[in-house]
Chains A and B, each alone.
Chain A
Amino acid sequence: MTKHEALDLAKAKITGGVAADQRHDSAHKHVTGEAAYIDDMPEPAGTLHACLGLSQAAHGAILSMNLEAVRAAPGVVDVLTAEDLPGANDISPSGLHDEPVLAADKVQFFGQPIFAVIAQTREAARRACRLAKVEYAEEPALIDIGDAPAGAKLVTKPLKLQRGSAEEAIANAPRRIKGRMRVGGQDHFYLEGQIAFAMPGEDGDVTVHSSTQHPSEVQHMVAHVLGVASHAVTVEVRRMGGGFGGKETQGNQFAAIAAVAAKRLNRPVKIRPDRDDDMTATGKRHDFLIDYEVGFDDDGNILGTDFTYAARCGFSSDLSGPVTDRALFHCDNAYYYPAVRAVSAPLYTNTVSNTAFRGFGGPQGMVGAERIIDEVAFAVGKDPLEIRKKNIYGTTARNVTPYHQTVEDNVIARIVEELEQSADYGKRRRQIEAFNANSPIVKRGLALTPVKFGISFTATHFNQAGALVHVYTDGSVHLNHGGTEMGQGLYVKVAQVVAEEFQIDIDQVKITATTTGKVPNTSATAASSGSDLNGMAAQNAAQQIKGRLVDFAAGHYEVPKDQVVFLPGRVRVGNQEIPFADLIKQAYMARVQLSAAGFYKTPKIHWDREKGRGHPFYYFAYGAACAEVSVDTLTGEYMVERVDILHETGRSLNRVIDLGQIEGGFIQGMGWLTTEELIWDDKGRLRTHAPSTYKIPLASDRPKVFNVTLADWSENAEPTVHRSKAVGEPPFMLGMSVLHALSDAVASVAGHRICPRLDAPATPERVLMAVERLRAAR
């Protein structure tokens, strides 16, 4: 809308306010290719390109590094090693100083960056990298956590959660089962790989365009590595081509290299690893070995559980502490354990340092809980859904988590019940039984699994956010906040909140790139917190400006403040209606400040890690999925026949964006548990480092029938932004329904009396081997 356009004073509703089905703000640019990602930015004259030289050994001292041929290669301008870093050789986000930018004396995983080539072209840099001659004194490497000896090295302090005496409860239980589950890791496979582009400035300054979920951390890391103050570094990101947690800390390395080279050579420097290097040299979802023991009665009531969650953390701590913590926080999924003990083992391995990935350990925690459900169900000969419902959290009793937080907003029973009805679970269960009885080769399986996911960063201090809102004299609004856009629709949601607050059309709100220069000291856009935190901060900024406008209008027009009301596109002041832009102009003339920095911090949360007690989560998000699969018991191949999802996002800020998160999250979760398999060889080399070998779902892998419903009755019990709920991570774990439907199909070959113990990812191979095991055991 331009200012020349006549305002519709009778307008009933703004466009693009809260709860509108507003499309992604960049959709029209995505489809034309005009949405600019960092590699699409025009390169200033003199731009150089960097490539990382990666270790070819998993563990050992660097005996010698001969880079002469690299330096002499065509187009090479410079080669950086650890000693060329002007500041600290450290990008450890945990503060444990265990992660160098470039390995100096020893390497700790196959693929660890040890030098960087700066060349005229990216191709020249890539070619030169391969000419390095590096000698290692190789030492034994621990690659797989299954090989970790007792008392193996940890990358960070483990966590223990305990409520009641699990040992006693299990010992006294009528029945007990002990087992071990392996759940694989996952590569993020963001379509846009890691990338950073650094522009040198005056004095110590540098501006870095980084594909990062955490610009503030990139800023701090770059400053640290350059040995300059944070004020010298500006980090900006307009959008990422996907993040999923893989750009929470993993962008630091690339930003640091680009910035160091840019300052050293006083030229712009870009670094964009190819897909293989990206997958080899950056962290992934942690794979886990889960040791579990459960005590239960003949009816399938769980009496006590004991878990050990051992994780392949890689060579450094990165985010492994909070990731393994969150695994424990979700060892209950949606179930009440009368007594529980859960401990983590964040194991050091000679592999790339694993990192954040959608769910952040929570999914691995939950699959442990769901395995226990399977164990109990097959042991007592009942449908796993019956066991799930029997053990689900109560609302007034049986509602305390293993970390002593009471579940206050529990709606999981209602969700499961509604989904059971809408998916026609009972009838299909009987149909599948009949089908399987007559089908010796192809077996069907059905499972309905719930999700309860805790919302908040478990590190309490991260639960804060800032925003910056300017209103210009023509009534148009500039919006900036600390959240980053990785495709999840955060920018549009926050813009909706601001449009709603001012009662102006969303087109009047300019969405701008996240930059550390506008909003400082931000938290990562992670933990599903983006719209909760930044939406509130932006709302706060808008409300400050509104407050000033109300004060001004009340004074100027001599009306009580409650007679200044923001209506769509206009403001009613007493008996007259003034177009929004006119009021803004008047306020400007009266020297009213039309800019505000907003702030928000999540209330109510606290956490004592030492004691394993507290209220780490502001609220929980709930959902459930029901999956049906068919399995070929000759080959292990399978097909997802149908999936029904019921998920709640409170009073949704934007239903179409939320549905997109649910559909996409489910498929990503399904991929993690089915076809996405990471394989390292015995030298510690990742063999699945490109889409040719690492298989994320395709369009033809999605369920044949896919019904996704938002629980429209839901609202957040807490006063979040417009009572909405976070949606980024929770739907990911709906993918567990597919793993358990596969498990159910496999179990059918032995009359549902033996737990298939189907580990993840449930590739056709794992499915077939489970079938073979059950056939042999029946």
Chain B
Amino acid sequence: MKTRDEIRFLLNGEAVALRDVKPDETLLDHLRLQRRLTGTKEGCAEGDCGACTVLVGRLQAGGLVYESVNACIRFVGSLDGCHVVTVEHLKRPDGGLHPVQQAMVDYHGSQCGFCTPGFVMSLYALWMREPQPSDRAIEKALQGNLCRCTGYEPIVRAAHAISSYGDASADPLKAERDAVTKSLVAMKDGARVEIGSGGERLVVPASLDDLAAVLEAEPKATIVAGATDVGLWVTKLMRDIAPVVFIGGLDELHGIEEDGNVIRIGAGVSYTEAFALLARRIPPLADLIDRIGGEQVRNMGTIGGNIANGSPIGDTPPPLIALGATLTLRKGGARRTIPLEDFFIDYGKQDRAPGEFVEAVNVPVPGAETRFEVWKISKRRDEDITAVLGAFNIAIADGKVASARIAYGGMAATPKRAKAVEAALVGKPWTAESIEGALSAFEEDYKPITDMRASADYRMLAARNLLRRFFLDGVAGHVPLQVSRYEAA
């Protein structure tokens, strides 16, 4: 096994090779403290406010893709083979402003200015992808950027105007694409990266098999994919996470494939990577993904991580359970596949052995005989953590409920199926009476708690009403059943 002891990446226009990297060193601290690149700000250190937004370019299926990420929870150790672009890189050689920046100035998109570099970077990523974005695309790109001064309206105006200041296809990052790609390819030398020992140890495995080997040798290692959860263990809880194994760069985990009616999602697939295929095959799931975190978090966070961390309020497990997804776990060379719902044993306890890791989640695409929906309720529509989330996969045949898989998040210590509700429905005629009759079964399935996101009473009421919504959705015709921000596509 070829190994090396340095993390290599490009930072703006410079090649960087770091030997002295702590496993929990964040990109934000690195930029601000080591490099004095202070344009990138710390607003929250938890991936919510976006003041630290930078772009990370990486080779994805051969192509170079730049995505916005939160530098505050991105570990330096995860950057091997990447191109980090900060706001300082946007300045023109003649000192002039970049089109994104000039639009922000001219449309009065900044007031106090502290969030502004983050907005500039998010809009930059959007503009390179979509030079003429819709309101919806702009709002989606800005879900992870908080501004407390402007009320956003001038920023959205600026976002619409960027292309009148310059041609996205002539942007330096695009012009330099080939050169950067070449540099990044050269960095991918197939070596395992190992730095430090004990409490300062980090490993970047060379391949999937290497990952299996590393974890067998170090079963207590913290596995970090997108770091959107583990990042907070460091910045908020100051937990020691070493040794750390960074898996985000493993190409073999980034696959998302259709195999007949099953979609296999590799454990390293980010929400953003999964979006297009899910939007095509399981649209409600894509709509849900749009409401997980902000764009930066979706660019980093993975569906595999959302499952593996065992959170009771992870948004993807309930719909995946309702769909009957299975989980493929691997330890060394051995793999096993289990129903996803069996993975969640109790609060903070999952069916994962030491040294074992989630390799993929396998999601059956619902057939024509069933209707699948998932709805999330949160205090704020976007970039919020779930109060209640309900997922329904129900088949009706001959006017009766032929099968029902229903799962909720936010209602119990784990993502959990509503088995009593399902039982109360199956075999019954698909009528309002049957729905009303099944509502009492919720109390058998769930005893939700009161916390800062919602009261137990609200959770129970809203959970029941989501079932009512599901029913009405099938019969209501043209009457709106939900508030919506965007006209139906």
Is B472 part of the contact surface with A, judged by Cβ < 8 Å? yes
| Contact of B110 (CB < 8 Å), options: A24, A440, A665 | A24
Q: Which residues of chain A are within 8 angstroms of B156 by Cβ–Cβ distance?
A: 699, 702
Contacts A33-B39, A768-B458; A191 near B108 (Cβ below 8 A): no
Roughly how many angstroms separate A23 CA and B116 CA in the complex, as a whole number?
15
Verify B46–A275 contact, CB threshold 8 A. yes
Verify B114–A37 contact, CB threshold 8 A. yes
Is B483 part of the contact surface with A, judged by Cβ < 8 Å? yes
Q: Which residues of chain B are within 8 angstroms of A765 by Cβ–Cβ distance?
A: 379, 387, 454-455, 458
Is B363 part of the contact surface with A, judged by Cβ < 8 Å? no
Q: Which residues of chain A are within 8 angstroms of B472 by Cβ–Cβ distance?
A: 441
CB distance from B164 to the nearest CB of A (A): 16
Q: Which residues of chain B are within 8 angstroms of A700 by Cβ–Cβ distance?
A: 139-140, 142-143, 381-382, 485
Residue of B nearest to A489 (CB): B111
Is B209 part of the contact surface with A, judged by Cβ < 8 Å? no
Roughly how many angstroms separate A667 CA and B153 CA in the complex, as a whole number?
10
Roughly how many angstroms separate A39 CA and B52 CA in the complex, as a whole number?
14
| Contact of B452 (CB < 8 Å), options: A276, A442, A687 | A687
Is B106 part of the contact surface with A, judged by Cβ < 8 Å? yes
Roughly how many angstroms separate A188 CA and B150 CA in the complex, as a whole number?
14
Roughly how many angstroms separate A769 CA and B49 CA in the complex, as a whole number?
30
Residue of A nearest to B135 (CB): A704
Residue of B nearest to A487 (CB): B112
Q: Which residues of chain B are within 8 angstroms of A701 by Cβ–Cβ distance?
A: 380-382
Roughly how many angstroms separate A441 CA and B384 CA in the complex, as a whole number?
24
Give 1 or 0 for each of B446-461: 1 = CB within 8 Å of chain A CB: 0000011111011001
Verify A241–B112 contact, CB threshold 8 A. yes
Residue of A nearest to B380 (CB): A695
Q: Which residues of chain A are within 8 angstroms of B153 by Cβ–Cβ distance?
A: 663, 702, 706, 708
Residue of B nearest to A438 (CB): B479
Among listed A4-12, A516-524, A635-643, interface-contacting one: A635-643
Is B148 part of the contact surface with A, judged by Cβ < 8 Å? yes
Which residues from 233 to 269 on chain A have a C-beta closer than 8 Å to any C-beta of chain B?
Answer: 239-244
Verify B452–A666 contact, CB threshold 8 A. no
| Contact of A190 (CB < 8 Å), options: B112, B458, B469 | B112
Contacts A28-B105, A702-B152; A34 near B465 (Cβ below 8 A): no
Residue of A nearest to B42 (CB): A39
Roughly how many angstroms separate A706 CA and B152 CA in the complex, as a whole number?
11
Roughly how many angstroms separate A692 CA and B105 CA in the complex, as a whole number?
29
Among listed B84-92, B211-219, B320-328, B419-427, interface-contacting one: B84-92
Is B104 part of the contact surface with A, judged by Cβ < 8 Å? yes
Verify B116–A675 contact, CB threshold 8 A. no
Is A634 part of the contact surface with B, judged by Cβ < 8 Å? yes
CB distance from A697 to the nearest CB of B (A): 8
Verify B151–A702 contact, CB threshold 8 A. yes
> In the complex, how many residues of chain A place their beta carbon closer than 8 angstroms to a beta carbon of chain B?
90
Is A656 part of the contact surface with B, judged by Cβ < 8 Å? yes
Roughly how many angstroms separate A36 CA and B37 CA in the complex, as a whole number?
11
Looking at A27, A193, A639, the one whose CB has the most chain B CB atoms below 10 A away is A27
CB distance from B90 to the nearest CB of A (A): 7
Roughly how many angstroms separate A708 CA and B469 CA in the complex, as a whole number?
36
Q: Which residues of chain A are within 8 angstroms of B382 by Cβ–Cβ distance?
A: 698, 700-701
Is A693 part of the contact surface with B, judged by Cβ < 8 Å? yes
Roughly how many angstroms separate A30 CA and B116 CA in the complex, as a whole number?
6
Verify A687–B458 contact, CB threshold 8 A. no
Residue of A nearest to B467 (CB): A634
| Contact of A664 (CB < 8 Å), options: B46, B120, B149 | B149
Q: Which residues of chain B are within 8 angstroms of A706 by Cβ–Cβ distance?
A: 153
CB distance from A186 to the nearest CB of B (A): 11
Contacts A275-B46, A700-B139; A31 near B104 (Cβ below 8 A): yes
Q: Which residues of chain A are within 8 angstroms of B101 by Cβ–Cβ distance?
A: 28, 31-32
Give 1 or 0 for each of A36-62: 1 = CB within 8 Å of chain B CB: 110110100000000000000000000
Q: Which residues of chain A are within 8 angstroms of B87 by Cβ–Cβ distance?
A: 32-33
Roughly how many angstroms separate A492 CA and B153 CA in the complex, as a whole number?
21
Give 1 or 0 for each of B103-145: 1 = CB within 8 Å of chain A CB: 0111011111111110010000000000000000011101101
Which residues from 405 to 443 on chain A have a C-beta closer than 8 Å to any C-beta of chain B?
Answer: 438-442
Roughly how many angstroms separate A242 CA and B146 CA in the complex, as a whole number?
12
Q: Which residues of chain A are within 8 angstroms of B86 by Cβ–Cβ distance?
A: 33
Verify A696–B148 contact, CB threshold 8 A. yes
CB distance from B414 to the nearest CB of A (A): 20
Give 1 or 0 for each of B140-182: 1 = CB within 8 Å of chain A CB: 1011011111111111100000000000000000000000000
Verify B110–A275 contact, CB threshold 8 A. no
Is B488 part of the contact surface with A, judged by Cβ < 8 Å? no
Give 10 closest A-B pairs by Cβ, nearest first. A33-B39, A487-B112, A241-B114, A30-B113, A667-B151, A487-B111, A691-B48, A30-B110, A31-B101, A695-B380
Known: A30-B110, A32-B88, A702-B153. 13 other contacts (CB 8 A): A23-B105, A24-B111, A127-B238, A191-B147, A441-B480, A487-B113, A660-B150, A663-B153, A687-B451, A688-B452, A692-B46, A765-B458, A768-B465
Give me 12 A-to-B residue pairs in the complex whose CB atoms sit less than 8 angstroms apart, sorted by A's number: A24-B111, A33-B117, A188-B148, A191-B41, A191-B115, A635-B469, A675-B379, A691-B46, A691-B49, A699-B147, A700-B139, A763-B379
